[in-house]
Amino acid sequence: MHPYSRYLRILFIFICLVSFGYHSTAKEYIRVGTASITGSYYPFGNFICKILNDYNASVDKDKRIICSVQTTPGTIYNKHAMLSKNMEFAIIQNDLIYTEYRNHPDSPLRVVFGLHKEALNLATRSNTDINVFDDVFGGKINTGVPGTGTRYALNNLLREKGWEKSDFSVYAQLRNAEQTQALCDSKIDLIADFVAIPSAVLKEALVTCGIRVVKLGDYFVSHVVDKYPYYEKFIIPVGTYDNSEPISTISVRAMFVTHKDEDEEMVYQVTKNALENLRILQSSHGVFKTIKVNDLLDINHLPYDIHPGACRYYKEKGYKVANCD
């Protein structure tokens, strides 16, 4: 036999092993889209990867789920990454999911479970004349960077008021990390953060230069909640930001989402291991300190499409979840 023929045979066998043998024992690799490392999304992503690492230690190599956490600009970015299959899981606010379903009834986004409520936090410097959202008209505001839930929500509210970019003397698009200094330097008069309370941004501004929480106004809150089914009324308690009275605002829900094409067994294991290890989640961030299974399953008020892998677990446990029947 010619020596080159032998080498070609060995190469052929190696290619066959790679093509067939490795695929039969392939692990699942998943990426979890979160947001910046300073919020609550990133600790949740770490929680998912931690519980999957524990799961991997108890199963055969071919059943392991290898997990990595991805920092991102925020919820809008996460939605587009999921739609383009650049992530296997992500956290997305429910207003974006609802709008996606309404505009694209065949959307591939699938909910796994819900997370915490996130409120719209608005504040100004304590020495301005701004008390309610209407007082902002004509002034200097920051709407946040594209790709964030804050930017999306503020644009909604501005449209409801009939206001446009040209109605403001300053219409900034600053990152969260830039808001406090800009407010304290009087470059802007309104900062916003659509997150679980308390907002780290507002807390920092409170210490740096003093702030006053800006009210949306009870009538306006009722109006947008009645018009948009994904918004809920939310009360920021007294003392959260040294406020002497409760503040009425709006909130959405953060949702843990996957793609319809993701493997059912894999999504089942992610769901099962997450819901059966809530003590680890509760210790990961203050937002999750009191979270319960019922909180995660409180997803029946909107017509979400639930992934079959998640539904399989819910049915096994006897949990009543809409769209899993």
E-strand spans in the chain?
28-33, 65-70, 89-93, 109-125, 140-142, 170-172, 191-195, 211-213, 232-236, 247-259
Same domain, 112 and 153: no
* Per-residue confidence band for 2, with pLDDT thresholds at 50, 70 and 90: low
Residue 9 is assigned to a structural domain of this protein: no
Asked if residue 5 belongs to a domain, the reply is no
**Residue where a domain stops, chosen among 252, 287, 308:** 252
Mean pLDDT computed over 143-147:
88
Whether the predicted pLDDT of 164 surpasses 70: yes
The enclosing domain of 135 has a CATH number of 3.40.190.10
pLDDT tens-digit map of 215-271: 999 999 999 999 999 999 999 999 999 999 999 999 999 999 999 999 999 999 999
Tell me how many domains the chain contains.
2
| 154 falls within a domain | yes
Domain-embedded: residue 14: no
Domain interval for residue 313: 27-116+253-317
| Same domain, yes or no: 166 and 230 | yes
Sorted by sequence, the CB contacts under 8 Å of residue 311 that are 6+ apart come out as 321, 323, 324
Domain boundary among 220, 252, 284: 252
